[in-house]
Amino acid sequence: MIYHAYENGFRTLGRQTLLEPIEWTQDGWFKAMGGKLSTPIAKPTSSVGNQSGMALSDDFSHNRFGNQWCFHNPGPIDMARVSFANTQLILEASGQSPADSSPITCVAVDRSYQVEISLSLSAEAEAGLLLFYNHKAFVGFGADGKVLKSFQYAEEQQWARMGMPVRDIRLRLINDNHVVTYEYSVDKGKSWQRHPTRMEVSGMNHNVFGGFLSLKIAIYCAGKGKVILSNFSYRAI
């Protein structure tokens, strides 16, 4: 039998698929076998060499939209904002901030993980890395070539702005059991600085904001111009 359910304590991961073994009775009905919910139930034996899952790190050498990436609440022309060249993803700006821009998103599959992305800004573009539930519920940070901004529950924390007069920056976001830490590098990842603000995101789930969604990794580009994305990395921690 197939169910969907939320993992207790990790509703941010969204609804997950559960399997329960059954047996067929002599009169042609099935009977749920049940089991102790506090312990794993053995899954059906798979074929030798069968593998599941997919690596989420992306060098943008191929278009993985539809498999890994998608726009949140996409409009009819949002895919026209995306192009690929030289192992880079070019994302055209939309909106004025993450609150009205349609970001590209990737489903997080682990309780704790670390993601990184390199950004190269053009014109008056602003771009950044988020954990995104919907336009009313997101956290993260981004750069506009002048300052580094941070966002808490869909609002920019203007008091936390940091001078950052660079147009090439690498961002790192660490989600450790719902505690989120931001780090940034202006020398292509050789050295890192920790952002002074941290977030707790366990409340960003369907019970609070509705929609039956999950808290996804997201990259936004707002303002005017575009951002060139390269070397997206994801690893469980």
pLDDT band at 54 (very low <50, low <70, confident <90, very high): confident
- pTM score: 0.91
Condensed to tens digits (0 to 9), the pLDDT of residues 105-121 reads 999 999 999 999 999 99
* Residue 20: inside a domain: no
**Whole-number pLDDT of residue 168:** 98
* Residue 101: inside a domain: yes
Determine the structural domain holding residue 162 and report its residue range.
69-236
**Domain of residue 225, CATH code:** 2.60.120.200
* Structure tokens that stand for 27 in this block: 């009169």
* Structure tokens that stand for 108 in this block: 């997080």
* Residue 228: inside a domain: yes
* Structure tokens that stand for 26 in this block: 């002599």
* Residue 92: inside a domain: yes
* Residue 76: inside a domain: yes
* Residue 176: inside a domain: yes
pLDDT band at 75 (very low <50, low <70, confident <90, very high): confident
pLDDT band at 50 (very low <50, low <70, confident <90, very high): low
**Whole-number pLDDT of residue 46:** 66
* Residue 23: inside a domain: no
d(C-alpha 182, C-alpha 193), whole Å = 9
* Residue 6: inside a domain: no
**Whole-number pLDDT of residue 42:** 78
Number of domains in the chain: 1
